[in-house]
């Protein structure tokens, strides 16, 4: 008789879809799917999630009895006590969903984790940071987020703010406000400010701070875009040097949508980081993450595995 597999489910709960990944203990992905994200606040919402898991299990010829852990990567702070107190872009009743998942997979440990922290853990498990024990994962998009891993464990923080490096104040004289209300925080919207300062018309953007368009302009030699990129690299390099003084990771990894354009700014970022860093960690590698949009499901499953084995 074949021995039951030990399986772990990673859920990445986004604004439009819930991605589902089914993994073996060694990080092998054996099933994958997604369902539209409903308001996860009642039985209909809970059922949408459990049905999505059930579909992936069926396609992998697996049973709920084999699932020993379920991790959920969600886009909001998840403090160390696991109690979610603030939500921004999703509607979720965490205790209700947890109860529904326990009912669906009675043997499974259920664990919530911030989505950036989950991505960091995914890269640690099977991605670009495999074999390391510490890293800082930086998500670069319209804003900047992060995940910190020390001794193989994600740093959530007492209030869920662990890894929120995007809210480091890099320019106290900045007048533009961050989404949190603070000013001078890490953003990738320097291009429009640079255009305004120079009195030139910006290129057409598909969003208010579409970094992809700006980075393409850099490739084409647009001096304003290049100046904005250098400002971004300078701020980010200084921010990473500050983080390094507190965390001293083995590796910095760049993820998020703007990581696809790392060819434009990585060399400048490394140069600026080294200019600000102290000697002992000035050579900390800064690399591009490898799991892409799947990092969340990998990391959520890995956090679930750790919870199941605790």
Quick one: pLDDT band at residue 170, thresholds 50, 70, 90? confident
Model confidence at 77, in pLDDT bands (50, 70, 90)? confident
Q: How confident is the model at residue 203 (pLDDT cuts 50, 70, 90)?
A: confident
In percent, the amount of the chain with pLDDT more than 70 equals: 95
- Over 90: is that where the pLDDT of 12 sits? yes
Task: Output the pLDDT for position 103.
Answer: 97
Which stretches does DSSP call E strand in 60-170?
Answer: 67-74, 109-114, 135-140, 144-150, 153-154
* pLDDT higher than threshold 70 for residue 216: yes
Read off the pLDDT of each residue in 29-42 and give the average, rounded to a whole number. Answer: 93
Give the span between the Cα atoms of 209 and 190, in whole angstroms: 8
Contact assessment for residue 256 and residue 291, using Cβ atoms and an 8 Å cutoff: no
pLDDT at 200: 83
pLDDT tier at 196, thresholds 50, 70, 90: confident
The 10s digit of each residue's pLDDT in 229-250 is: 998 899 999 999 999 999 999 9
Helices (H), the chain: 43-59, 94-104, 115-126, 190-198, 211-219, 223-247, 262-276, 295-309
**Closest-CA residue to 20 (of 75, 45, 46, 57):** 57
Scanning the structure block, which residue is given the tokens 């106290």?
172
- How are beta strands 17-24 and 7-13 bridged, if at all? antiparallel
Residue found under tokens 């998840």: 78
Question: Per-residue confidence at 56, pLDDT binned at 50, 70, 90?
Answer: very high
If you write DSSP's letter for every residue of 190-244 in order, what string do you get? HHHHHHHHHT-PPPP-SSTT-HHHHHHHHHTT-HHHHHHHHHHHHHHHHHHHHHH
Cα 100 from Cα 167, distance rounded (Å): 35
Tens of pLDDT, residue by residue over 266-309, are 999 999 999 999 999 999 999 999 999 999 999 999 999 999 99
- Tell me the β-bridge partners of 114: 74
Q: Report phi then psi at 141, rounded to 5.
A: -145, -135
- Asked if pLDDT for residue 125 goes beyond 80, the answer is yes
For all residues of the chain together, what is the average pLDDT?
A: 90
Q: Is the pLDDT of residue 172 over 90?
A: no
Mean pLDDT of 3-19: 90
pLDDT tier for residue 89 given thresholds of 50, 70 and 90:
low
Mean pLDDT of all residues in 103-109: 97
DSSP 3-state of 285:
coil
Per-residue pLDDT, 88: 59
Please tell me the predicted confidence (pLDDT) of residue 181: 78
């Amino acid at each position: 008789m074949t021995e039951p597999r030990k399986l772990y489910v990673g859920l990445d709960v986004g604004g439009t879809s819930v991605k589902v990944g089914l993994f073996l203990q060694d990080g092998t992905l054996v099933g994958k799917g997604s369902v539209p994200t409903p308001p996860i606040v009642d039985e209909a919402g809970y059922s949408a999630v459990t049905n999505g898991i059930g579909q992936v299990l069926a396609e992998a010829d697996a049973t709920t009895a084999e699932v020993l852990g379920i991790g959920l990567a969600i886009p909001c702070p998840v403090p160390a006590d696991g109690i979610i107190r603030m939500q921004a872009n999703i509607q979720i009743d965490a205790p209700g969903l947890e109860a529904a998942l326990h009912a669906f997979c009675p043997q499974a440990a259920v664990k919530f984790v911030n989505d950036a922290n989950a991505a960091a853990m995914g890269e640690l498990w099977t991605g670009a940071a495999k074999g390391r024990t510490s890293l800082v994962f930086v998500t670069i998009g319209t804003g900047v987020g992060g995940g910190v891993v020390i001794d193989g464990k994600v740093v959530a923080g007492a209030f869920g703010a662990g890894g929120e490096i995007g809210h480091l104040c890099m320019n106290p004289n900045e007048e533009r406000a961050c989404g949190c209300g603070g000013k001078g925080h890490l953003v990738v919207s320097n291009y429009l400010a640079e255009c305004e300062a120079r009195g030139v018309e910006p290129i057409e953007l598909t969003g208010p701070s579409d970094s992809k368009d700006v980075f393409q302009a850099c490739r084409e030699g647009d001096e304003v875009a290049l100046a904005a990129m250098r400002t971004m690299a300078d701020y980010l390099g200084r921010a990473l040097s500050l983080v390094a003084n507190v965390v001293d990771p083995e590796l910095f990894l760049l993820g998020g949508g703007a990581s696809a354009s790392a060819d434009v700014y990585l060399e400048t970022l490394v140069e600026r980081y080294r200019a600000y860093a102290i000697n002992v960690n000035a050579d900390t590698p800064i690399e591009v993450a490898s799991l892409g949009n799947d990092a969340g499901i990998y990391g959520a499953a890995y956090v679930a595995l750790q919870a199941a084995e605790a």
